[in-house]
Structure 1
Amino acid sequence: MNNEQLPIQTQLSNLIQQDFINVASSYSDNNRLNRDYVLTLIQDVSLLKKYKVSYLHNSDFNETMDILKNQLLNSLYPYDIAFVITIDYLQNSENVDFLQKFFVEIFLKTPKELFIDIFFIFNILCGSVKELYGYFLEYIFNNKFLILDENIQIDCLYKAWNLSLQVYHDNEASQFAYNELKHLFQNALNYQKTEVAFWLYYTPLHYFNAGTHRNKHEANQRFQVEIEKPLEKYIKNHIIPKYKITPNKKKVKDSSKKKVAFVMQRIIRHSTVKVLYYLMESLMKEKQDKYEFILYDLAFPESGGSDVVFIKEFEKLGLKYVNLHEKIFNNKSETYSLLEKCIKSREILIEDNIDILIGLHTRVEYMFFYLTRTAPKQIYWYHNSNDYYDVEGIDIRIAHGSTPNNFKFHVFNLLSNYNNDNDKNLEKEIARIKNSFSKNVIVLGSIGRLIKLDNNEYLETIFEIMEKRLNTVYLVCGAGDSTNIKKQVEKRGLSSRFFFIGFVDPKIYIKVIDIYLNTFPESSGESLNEFISKGGVPVILLPKEHPAMQEIFRNEWDKKYERIFAFSKKDYINLAVNLIDNNVIREKLSEENKNRLLQTSLSVKTFESFIDAINK
């Protein structure tokens, strides 16, 4: 240490000692630690590394430090644990990297159910989410991670990555984490660390890749090559032989009643599950004796499990419901063996004599079911998500809407019954939000993951529309990283007219938004359909490769601007501006949408269409 560092060392040591006095005094008065004082202490101790100085011990504090540390030594409260780690470092660990000691011990000592509080501490130690993820990788998920006890590995994976998704939305940090974690994933396969590979597969690898990438198709293609195919090979070459798993040899008999299993990741009010509900509603209305429909719920608790109220709505349809997670583990612990869940879920499905298995997602359980031949017929139901999902054992692919061109899909007709929504209970909230804007304001907006908005092509189009019509605002409804969008909005001088709402209840905001400006190149999902079903008027840019592009162009182009489909960005802008200016046209198109929905509801035969699709 040079002479220039001595004043810094003295100042920092004095500051840390004052921080400790504040913590100790507060504890003496309230019999608990003051969170803000603890955070300040941790922050100041971390500065020792920054300025490359050590702490100057003051013997006057040793006894008080020991007393307070010993009183809190067995506490499970995150701030108590963080305080004890920090004091222990000051007393004994001058030659140890404070951040390394802090991260390692905080991961090992803090209970998983309380760990989310630790992210508030992480925030003061790291300048960015990317820096935090860098510390995770450097101190926890390094070369030594794979030699840890398996339960500790699962616990750390859950704490770091599942919980970070609940706290942060940062696309750059997520892409960084994906590129680093895929090496850990590859090593886990090489060293046959199955639980590590399985826990990494979907969260975080799948979400950090596709959920934060501006080009979903590129992301899915990359994921297939780098993650899915290696994992598929691992299950085939290692898991199946090791556990002596043999394919289900059952044959489907046309004369017998067929059991159809819908395997859902969890039952929540998400667009995918709501679509499933609308299908079940249609299927269960039919009086027939050829099919039995069963809903199997993986109910993964690491993301909060399933919605009990929504489950009851499924059961009211007369549908048999099976909670696979509860049946296997009989608890709601956030951490568990994914391999055990895969094997035992498969056993349950086989014991239940399932004829047709329909997977509605791409978690590792589905890959396991397909590869091990769990049912005589195995189906992947595509929900406009992973268009490159291709696992050995998928017999047919079905879809209820537009489909990609890289696989053959059997499409069935499904009319979503949004009329079940209890709008009366929402009217006050809808009115409150609408009344927060001036009467002459036209509310533009979209609903969905923010990554769909986060591209210059779409944003520039929206900016041009709003600059042409100053009586507009835009509601950004959905979760995700808003950093880049806000920068672009601010740069354009439109910050006062953009409102970032966050995750919303679509039933409310489809009534708040006057004109739904559908995102492109990646379209909105079920919220757009729900908006149209309620008579809403959107503007939709049809991609050139859309299968119905030519037909719609022939039927719609001569309508000038009395239509909702646009055929170019310039056309999109002109349509939007015309709808903003002309309330009469908006009302006319609204009635047309309602009538079209009514006519469709009279002609759609969901049951016949679905049965035909799954029997191809």
Structure 2
Amino acid sequence: MEISFNPEEHVNSYTALFSGKQVTLDSLRRFIDTENRFGTHTDKKYIQQYGQLFRTLRDNLIVPNYEKFNLLPVFEELAALMRRSGTVLPPNPQGRQIIDGFKNSYDSNEPYWKLQLLRMETVLSSFCAEADRNYFLNKVLLLRSVDCFRSLEEVRLFAQCLRMLFPTPTEFMTAALKIFTPDYAKRGITEFKAGLMWITEISWTLAYKEAKEHMMLMDSWISIFHECIRLKNDEAVFYMHFPLSHVYLNNCHTQPEFKEFNDRVEIPFSDYIQQNMDRWNIKPVTKQNEKKRIGFVYDRLAGSSPVKLLLSLLHYMKNEPYELFVYDMAYIEKAVSRKEYIDEVLSAGAKYVNNHELTDSANGHYYSHFEKNKALRKKVIEDEIDVLIVTSNKSQAAFLCATRTAPQQIFWDHGNHEYDVAGLDSRICHFDDGYRNGFEFQRFDLKMLPKYLNEDEQMKKAAAAEIKKNLPPHSVVLGSIGRIMKLSDEYMEMVADILKANPDTIYLACGDGPIEEKKAKARALGVADRFIFTGWADAHVYGHVIDIYLNTFPLVGGESVNEFVSKGENKYVVTLY
């Protein structure tokens, strides 16, 4: 049923309501919801009426309640509406005095209240003049995020605040670039870490979830990284490797992109390590051990294909004459390893070492990455590891290899064929996707254990059946499973052509990542109604939902393809090279 809506009546009635003394939180939320639904505030035909409405809100509600910080989320939404409307209000002397008072008292407050003052100041500035977003961001990025929130809900609300102040990731990154200049390398280490932490914890994880626009920061970040190397600022060099690798490599599609990261970051980092070993009093391991001990160095133990392959390999090696160790780098900034996978390591007879427990973690996320690297190296040497196998672009992998921590050091390739740091003796790979470069890989067969390929099969089939009930009937379900970043423009264009040529098909994009960006691409291709994004997806469930797996390119699927094929005889994979 069509809802009758009269814009002028809507604006006039709310202006009258906000002029009175009985304004409630519910009435404010109803106003915000209505505006977000109908968007009348963006219609220039009503700009005079909205000018009066927003002036009434400011003078009767916002300025008199400037000390009620619990109202910040609502005030921020109102400020966002006003900015979108293009309304410019006349000055409010009382509001200006309050803003000046906030600025004068800022330094005397604790970080938590500094953030609240900045947010309320930005709201008032929006209603009194144009808010200085650069000033806001520069101040925020000096604070330790861990000191600014008392609950996860407050973090979520602040991410919402950022999106309202900087509606697009491009606007946010453009403002951030004014802060991440070469001089950033000269900041004290706490402030240095703080700015980067806001990007990786808030912007990347919540506010603009894995948006590719984060790549706008890369050139500046790499310049800062090189300046830290020049200054021999060890802690800054080691700390910065994490956000660089985390953001850049999650945006990689192709081997040339992996190579660019290796050339610009990994090789200079590896060289820096080797050039400073004497200064750190670190000596390479030269003694050949006879214990036949093998150590695997992993980012963390999560439900990823590389981890399941490791657990499968440990199982197969259980009765071999080796002592096996798994070193968990344990990046608490991301997420802790899952207990069930740690238990799997132990049940396979391997020893488990948590890297984070080897270092002083009293500073929370602001711990020393340099000391964490050294602690892991010390532990590996104490364990007399004979063969050390690294698997990912994290600082520990380069540090352990470049400092020669074990007599034999191997890179196990899980998709980044271009990884190359000092101290690697050989490279191994369990699959062949046809890519060739100048490195030699020893290829070996490794099949994931059936329990990982077919976990809880009956439950998964039942869940898949429920999902299929909500899909268009009589459809052939195409799809892929994995990081949404793997959906390159060329791949999506191919899928769109298939959908247009075959009206009885739909496509499921199963996985996390920059979904809004990819949805926009699907709309531009004219297939948004049949190009369906599921968000995070259990591969074991969606392996039953999808009929034909369209392998991504140029970065192809890994174990997700094998998991799909394992679901039965009538499962087909289409791969283009």
Query: What's the CA shift for 1:371?
Result: 0.6
Residue number in structure 1 paired with 2:46: none
The structure 1 residue matched to 2:507, chosen from 474, 493, 497, is 474
In the aligned structure 2, how far is the partner of 1:62 from the partner of 1:463? 55
1:362–1:488 distance in 2 versus 1, CA, 3 Å: closer
Query: What's the CA shift for 1:392?
Result: 1.3
Query: What's the CA shift for 1:40?
Result: 4.1
Q: 1:347 and 2:378 equivalent?
A: yes
Query: What's the CA shift for 1:454?
Result: 2.0
Q: 1:417 and 2:449 equivalent?
A: yes
SS at match of 2:162: helix
In the aligned structure 2, how far is the partner of 1:434 from the partner of 1:137? 45
1:17–1:310 distance in 2 versus 1, CA, 3 Å: farther
1:60–1:505 distance in 2 versus 1, CA, 3 Å: closer
**Amino acid across the alignment from 1:163:** I
Q: How does 1:306-385 map to 2 (within 5 A)?
A: 306-329=337-360, 333-384=364-415
SS at match of 1:233: helix
In the aligned structure 1, how far is the partner of 2:176 from the partner of 2:111? 24
Residue number in structure 2 paired with 1:222: 260
Query: What's the CA shift for 1:529?
Result: 0.6
Q: 1:199 and 2:239 equivalent?
A: yes
Query: What's the CA shift for 1:499?
Result: 0.9
SS at match of 1:522: coil
Residue number in structure 2 paired with 1:390: 420
Residue number in structure 2 paired with 1:516: 549
1:58–1:429 distance in 2 versus 1, CA, 3 Å: same
The structure 1 residue matched to 2:526, chosen from 489, 493, 500, is 493
Whether contact under 8 Å (1:130, 1:172) holds in the other structure is: no
Residue number in structure 1 paired with 2:475: 441
1:59–1:492 distance in 2 versus 1, CA, 3 Å: closer
Residue number in structure 1 paired with 2:176: 136
Residue number in structure 1 paired with 2:145: 111
Residue number in structure 2 paired with 1:184: 224
In the aligned structure 2, how far is the partner of 1:516 from the partner of 1:145? 46
Query: What's the CA shift for 1:311?
Result: 1.3
Specify every segment of 5 or more residues in structure 2 that has no aligned partner in the other structure, as ranges.
Answer: 1-49, 150-154
Q: 1:20 and 2:66 equivalent?
A: no
Specify every segment of 5 or more residues in structure 1 that has no aligned partner in the other structure, as ranges.
Answer: 1-7, 544-616
Residue number in structure 2 paired with 1:249: 286
Residue number in structure 2 paired with 1:124: 164
In the aligned structure 2, how far is the partner of 1:62 from the partner of 1:542? 62
Whether contact under 8 Å (2:55, 2:89) holds in the other structure is: no
In the aligned structure 1, how far is the partner of 2:229 from the partner of 2:168? 31
The structure 2 residue matched to 1:57, chosen from 90, 93, 108, is 93
Whether contact under 8 Å (1:260, 1:293) holds in the other structure is: yes
Q: 1:174 and 2:214 equivalent?
A: yes
Residue number in structure 1 paired with 2:9: none
Q: TM-score, normalised by structure 2?
A: 0.79
Q: 1:530 and 2:563 equivalent?
A: yes
Q: How does 1:500-511 map to 2 (within 5 A)?
A: 500-511=533-544
Aligned pairs, how many?
A: 513
Residue number in structure 2 paired with 1:291: 322
**Amino acid across the alignment from 1:391:** V
Whether contact under 8 Å (1:358, 1:379) holds in the other structure is: yes
Residue number in structure 1 paired with 2:465: 431
1:145–1:90 distance in 2 versus 1, CA, 3 Å: same
Q: How does 1:202-281 map to 2 (within 5 A)?
A: 202-203=242-243, 205-214=244-253, 216-237=254-275, 239-253=276-290, 257-281=291-315
Residue number in structure 1 paired with 2:31: none
In the aligned structure 2, how far is the partner of 1:60 from the partner of 1:223? 48
CA deviation map 1:123-149 (0-9, x unaligned): 11113102212222213x234433322
CA deviation map 1:104-130 (0-9, x unaligned): 333344632735642211111113102
Query: What's the CA shift for 1:246?
Result: 0.7
Query: What's the CA shift for 1:283?
Result: 1.4
Whether contact under 8 Å (1:9, 1:55) holds in the other structure is: no
1:493–1:120 distance in 2 versus 1, CA, 3 Å: same
In the aligned structure 2, how far is the partner of 1:38 from the partner of 1:79? 15
Q: How does 1:397-416 map to 2 (within 5 A)?
A: 397-402=427-432, 404-406=435-437, 407-416=439-448
Query: What's the CA shift for 1:165?
Result: 2.2
Query: What's the CA shift for 1:373?
Result: 0.5
SS at match of 1:263: strand
Query: What's the CA shift for 1:533?
Result: 1.6
CA deviation map 1:382-422 (0-9, x unaligned): 101x2211111001111111164221111222111133512
Query: What's the CA shift for 1:463?
Result: 2.5
Residue number in structure 2 paired with 1:158: 197
Whether contact under 8 Å (1:19, 1:37) holds in the other structure is: no
SS at match of 1:397: strand
In the aligned structure 2, how far is the partner of 1:389 from the partner of 1:295? 21
In the aligned structure 2, how far is the partner of 1:36 from the partner of 1:436? 35
Q: TM-score, normalised by structure 1?
A: 0.75
CA deviation map 1:463-513 (0-9, x unaligned): 333233322211111222245543443344322212111121111111111
1:97–1:175 distance in 2 versus 1, CA, 3 Å: same
In the aligned structure 2, how far is the partner of 1:129 from the partner of 1:506? 30
SS at match of 2:343: helix
Residue number in structure 1 paired with 2:25: none
Query: What's the CA shift for 1:527?
Result: 0.6
SS at match of 2:317: helix
Whether contact under 8 Å (1:81, 1:106) holds in the other structure is: no
1:87–1:176 distance in 2 versus 1, CA, 3 Å: closer
**Amino acid across the alignment from 1:38:** F
Residue number in structure 2 paired with 1:567: none
**RMSD in angstroms over aligned alpha carbons?**
3.6
SS at match of 2:440: coil
Query: What's the CA shift for 1:277?
Result: 1.2
In the aligned structure 1, how far is the partner of 2:177 from the partner of 2:95? 37
Whether contact under 8 Å (2:259, 2:418) holds in the other structure is: yes
Query: What's the CA shift for 1:450?
Result: 2.1
SS at match of 2:458: helix
SS at match of 1:34: helix
